[in-house]
Structure 1
Amino acid sequence: MKISEFVKNITEFQSKDFIKNMGQEDRDQMESNLWLVWQKLQLIDDFEIFLPLSDISEALSKIKDVPNIVKKNNKFFDINFFYDLCIENIPKRKYKFMHPIKNKKKVYDQEFLEYLSMELQESTKNCKGFYDIFQNHGKLEEEKKRLLVKYGVDINDDGEPSGEPLESTSKHKIWLYEIEAEKIKKLGYKDRKKILGDSSLRKYIFKETGISQSKYYQLKYILDNSPDELENIDSGHKTVRNVYRRLKNLDSEAKIKERVIKQFKKQVLELSNHLSKEQIIHIIKNI
């Protein structure tokens, strides 16, 4: 669940059974991001919301189990308490939110935005707002390090990634394809038709991401069955096709032998440009 969806349930829908009906995965995710939800609510651009937010803040500050309102891991004391407190105080309606004045010269850490997008299931554009929130509260570097560690990125002494850029990894390609597909599938028929036009979903996603359907299926199969192989693919030591075919047992023993012989002949041909026939035979005999 997106933070924006959770906020909308607090401000616009205010169903008393909302938390009870949440799936466990969504609930866990929102419990981990309630600090961001609270920061987002405080950006509501409405004069009448000032007092309700003050009342909520005062109530939260009185919770003895939660110093400074938020625990060290950014989790509130209780998601039910927080949600009920919000819908009891915040008038039910659609709100506009304040956005910081855009600074065209501001440079965002694009790789961190990608990881934040994965973490929050929000677009990188929306994540710039959360980026600003972390930065304004002095939590940006802490959150960067947390996400890099979570997603298995090697970091140097300065807390910066030392490996390949996220955009080049197989896991990111899988995620990018799935996000784009899910976005289109959630649209109504008219909106979907408007975006796709005469193109198929498969062709549209390829145009947007550069990832073909077959490449996605192969990478996803490798991720599900032998995730360590993705590192070999990303490093260039192996190809997606070869790993996929091996895992699917698509190559018979005869085909494997045929391919090995073909590769061997190619290597011998290259050697013949530098060595005599007798020298090559001598090398083969000593293998």
Structure 2
Amino acid sequence: MKLNEIVKNITEIQDPFWISNLQSEELIKIENNFWLIWQKIKQINDIEIIEPLQKLSEFLTETKLVDGKIKTQFKTADFSHFYSLCINLIPKKKYSFISSRKRKNKDYDYEFLKLLAKEYNESVRNCEEYYDIFEELGTLEKEKKRLFSKYGVFYDPNLNDKIEALNINSIKLHPLIDNSNFKLRDKEYLRYLKRIETFGQLEPITIDKKTSYVVCGIKRYLCMRELGLRKIQVIKRSFYDEIEKLISHEVDYKQFLTEQLNSYKELKNKIKSIGYKKRKKLMGGKSMRDYVYQQTGISQSQGYKLEYIEKHDPNLFNELLENKHTIRSAYNQLRFRLNRD
């Protein structure tokens, strides 16, 4: 049951038998989401609700004496009791809520939505409401850190770049960049070309926010132009001087390992997501590791080490993707630590 539906029952419908008609699983889910339900009710925008909210707030506030100081905190009550109190205090009618206007096609952090769904035993779709409430309360980042930490998932707020789909004709290379520096017909370029042709774009390219020049992912950009893609995924970032942009262009080859590792992970996930017959035809009888090596340049030995690192230490794996370690050093470091323990 959606959060809005629960609040609607409390404010508009107010059926005294609603609670008793609920399945036990539904009631447990509601009780687990009690705090969020209360936050939503507090967003009602109506003068008639002021006094009822004050009385409900008193009911849900617990006062304690801690180290000689009086402290108040939210108290989770029995929901049946809370519901009875609500329908007695809140005037029965349809209410509007204080909230910022919801944008169409809002970009949610999907990984966080999945953790919310796991935490509250809800569908990812329904958790968009929870996301909005945390955002309204200004506690979204705090809740993200809590859940990512709780479930052992690496999280860095600085990495949450917005991915946009742009017309490829609106993106361009810096006029001082010589395409020949990128050896357009070499093995690496052809590998990119084949992979994008088969699976589509697996990773966004980075462009300068002001000029739309490609900063990282030049070869992939050129491949997508050659393949005739009309829209491509990009991340926009601000680069504050011309030198920084040029350096970023010139060292694009240094991003190769990072792109290899990201591609390795994405490609494996893509292959696993397709049916067995289609997968067998695509790989032409090759094993998963052989095919992925052919497409990404990650050897079987490197593949084994990557899988080992990802399985036993996801945080270290993410650091590897950020070029903080080599595959060999990360693997040896992890093996030493695990053997010691």
Larger strand share, 1 or 2: 2
- Taking structure 2 as the reference length, what is the TM-score of the superposition? 0.40
| TM-score, with structure 1 as normaliser | 0.46
